[in-house]
Chain A
Amino acid sequence: MHSAGATEGNLDLGNFEKMASTLTREQYLELYYFMRLNRELEEQMVWLFRQNKIVGGLYSSFGQEAISVGTSYALGPGDWIAPMIRNIGALLVRGFKPRDILTQHMARYTSPTLGKDGTSHFGDLKARHVVSPISMLGDLIPVMTGIAMAGRYLGQKIVTMTWIGDGGTSTGVFHEGLNLAAVQKAPLVLIVENNQWAYSTPVERQAPLKNLADRAKAYGIESAIVDGNDAVAVERTTREAVAHARAGNGPVLIEAKTMRMRGHAQHDAAEYVPKEMLEAWKKRDPLDRYEKFLNENKLWDAKTKKEIDARIAREIQTDVEFAENSPFPPPELAEQGVYCEGCHTVEADWKRPKEEVMPPRSSVKPEWPVRALLGARQKETKLFAGNGARPPTQKKVAPKSKPGKKPARVPVRAKVGR
């Protein structure tokens, strides 16, 4: 019997204090709008898929809308995101319209990629700061780390965010990327969307961990666990993580526990998922719960809901018509645009004086700053105690540094090669 950690009651908010909500009524309603739009748009695409109007595969984030919307909603306009396949909600929050997503799936010439790529594989470097994903999992993490590092270098005070599934945390580049972000203290917020299934493989077969958030411990970074089907908790936790990263405290990993309520993609009936698991999670549907939250806090009434739902239906209908009436790309487009030959400008948005980074930086010495020669490593000696190996005796050699004194600077030769 498959057991899902997230069905347990109290979810740990990790190192983050529970904080009072700071959103306005309008913002709460906007969260609903995006989550409902996310769901209705994807449901509409299921119909289009069945009519053979979706050219390739169709992936659903049904039941995970609170994560895409809640996390991306916590970012500022200058921040960057890189969505994954189940983060259409984040694209909507970032300002893309249903027509962008519809035309992408339907391979139309009016799509953001002109039909060159499908699904959520599109982005916008200049205005919306959205990086297009690739299908290989984990690769977005170092890329978003690089943007975070560049943003810091340019003085932008930005945060970057990307998502990964429970299965994606098993890739090598997940670890390389997160470790680089950690040593660089890059302002990256990584959302681990633990939906219990990587295609047909349950999370237990990905990692023998109760909480995937534990992976953060290996990199010495902050982490949090959040109920991924609770939009308010997701938004609140993410907002705090974003503040933490923006303040220069390094990356944060948030594990959002949720459930993939559909198959891996539209073709997959997901018969390998135990029915009772789906039933248990159905009771935790993020939209039902969020509507209940809005009701209980008297943030809306039936009329408001009706208005928002009607607006969504209208917008989707208009954009479906737009997509269906859009042309397919001209075949010869296939051989265009492999290289950038002056069609795009590459320009950094400097928020600090360039002079600060220009030579000569005569104060820089080619040596490593070292805090303490051996003291910092002493805790590790207990590792040797259990297996019979002799712990290194280092205590007498360790220099005693007086409190308040500057750390010693000792040149250390780096090793060549491997």
Chain B
Amino acid sequence: MAETTYLEAIRQALFEEMDRDPAVVLIGEDVGVYGGAFKVSEGLLERFGWERVIETPISESAIVGAAVGMGYAGLRPVAEMQFIDFIACCFNQITNFAAKSHYRWGAPVPMVLRGPSGGGVHGGPFHSANPEMYFVHTPGLKVICPATPYDAKGLLKSAIRDNNPVLFFEHKYLYRRIKENLPDGDFTVPIGKATVRREGRDLTIVSYAAMLHTSLEAAAELEKEGIQAEVIDLRTLLPLDRDTILASVRKTNKLLVVHEDTRTGGIAGEIAAVVTESAFEDLDGPIRRVTSLDTPVPYAPQLEEYFLPNAAKVVAAARELAHY
């Protein structure tokens, strides 16, 4: 057992998978000598050499395209986006090439595309994005948003071993802010399985990534008022673990979805549809959501704070829902 940050957990997963399997390679901008913009890949070049830690020009489409090709040749490439916002530059390679490959012609794309996402660090409109829903809307991809060091490590290992293109969104706010004792030795976390982080009877809060911690903070506040919130961590957005969500809603009869992604078209809408389709009779109140605003991510701290969800906003929405 060793206390490990979220960032260190990701690095450990890369190290251990590259140690385990020579087919695993890393490709991206500044991933070698510099160790990546956030130092996630620090030390990998020294250990695995230039052939397996591949520095590229600033060419996101080429990075993803090359990773797809490497996957076709039997490798298991991990491609890094320096900031996840730049994933927009390679949208076509992801959505048209990688995602459709297995369906169209039976060619698996065992690729992981990972990078730092999320706000709260004053990155402004181009270094703070949560682009997960562009890809949740793309059949053929898997989309992972881990919230804890244990999940980050275990899910990244699962992603590398998966035969499908997996997008792995690392929340940069969590990189060095959270720590967890991780067990020694190899472990994985299954893709597509949500988990209950806190049990409760009065309402269900569904969240993921950094907002899981906000939701847990809110749940602790709500407890002081006698409101028992159940908190679910989605962990994987695609495929979505409908069963865990539905089981909880059938127990608490109320649902609040909290996400840092913007409101319109966020995962809350899909979850609301799933719940009304399958558990409408179990609902004792309207489905509520606490999300970021429908705007780009603003730069000034005052603006960003206003833009983002926080524990107080979650508490207010949950309280209202609990008393509905």
Contacts and interface: CB of A to CB of B under 8 A. Distances in A.
B70 A149 contact: yes
Nearest to A179: B57
A246 B54 CA distance: 20
Given A337-B103, A339-B140, A414-B33, A145 B69 contact: yes
B105 A141 contact: no
Contact of A142 (B35, B61, B77): B61
A146 B56 CA distance: 12
Given A145-B62, A338-B139, A125 B72 contact: yes
B62 A142 contact: yes
Interface of B: 18-19, 22-23, 25, 30, 32-35, 37, 45-52, 54, 56-77, 82-83, 92-93, 96-97, 100-108, 110, 127, 139-140, 142, 163-164
B97 A337 contact: no
Given A361-B48, A364-B46, A146 B22 contact: no
A269 to B, nearest CB: 29
Nearest to A368: B33
A357 B22 contact: yes
A contact face: mostly helix, strand, loop, or mixed: loop
A183 B62 CA distance: 12
B74 A348 contact: yes
A364 B49 CA distance: 6
A417 B65 CA distance: 21
Contacts of B37: 416-417
A372 to B, nearest CB: 19
* Residue of A172, A338, A354 with most partner-chain B CB within 10 A: A338
B18 to A, nearest CB: 8
Contact of B74 (A177, A337, A346, A412): A346
Given A139-B61, A177-B62, A416-B30, A346 B69 contact: no
Given A180-B59, A361-B48, A364-B46, A146 B70 contact: yes
Interface string A123-154: 10100000110111001011111111111011
Contacts of B52: 153, 357
A123 B96 CA distance: 16
Given A132-B104, A359-B19, A413-B34, A143 B69 contact: yes
Interface of A: 112-113, 116-117, 121-123, 125, 131-132, 134-136, 139, 141-151, 153-154, 160, 172-173, 176-177, 179-180, 183-184, 337-344, 346-349, 354, 357-362, 364-368, 411-418
B97 A134 contact: yes
A147 B73 contact: yes
B105 A122 contact: yes
A123 to B, nearest CB: 5
B105 A112 contact: yes
Contacts of A179: 57, 59, 62
Contact of A113 (B46, B77, B104, B140): B104
B102 A139 contact: no
A142 B92 CA distance: 12
Given A147-B70, A149-B66, A121 B104 contact: yes
A361 B66 CA distance: 24
B145 to A, nearest CB: 18
